Amino acid sequence: MTLIEPKPMTQTTDNISLKDELIDRYVTRVIDGLDLDDCLAILHDYMTKSYEDYSLEEMKEEVTEYYPELLNSN
């Protein structure tokens, strides 16, 4: 009976490291090519998406802490 040995963990770790490095280099290159308007648009989309998970009450608490005047404007 022959036992099959699993692949060494270092190969998986190496692949993850290579992928992480490639992602980092790619993201850095993309960011370097963005102008300020592009950066602001991405930030707006990111923040909007993250706040979509807040309940109305959580959103009101957040706004009250930083920009309470927004709750009084209609």
3-state secondary structure of 12: helix
SS (H, E, C) 15-49: HHHHHHHHHHHHHHHHHHCCCHHHHHHHHHHHHHH
The pLDDT of residue 26 is 97
- Distance in angstroms (rounded) separating the CA atoms of residues 48 and 44: 6
Residue 3: band (very low, low, confident or very high) from pLDDT cuts 50, 70, 90: low
The pLDDT of residue 13 is 83
The pLDDT of residue 14 is 85
The pLDDT of residue 6 is 59
Dump pLDDT digits (tens) for 5-57: 655 556 788 888 999 999 999 999 999 999 999 999 999 999 999 999 999 99
The C-alpha angle 64, 45, 19, rounded to 5 degrees, equals 125
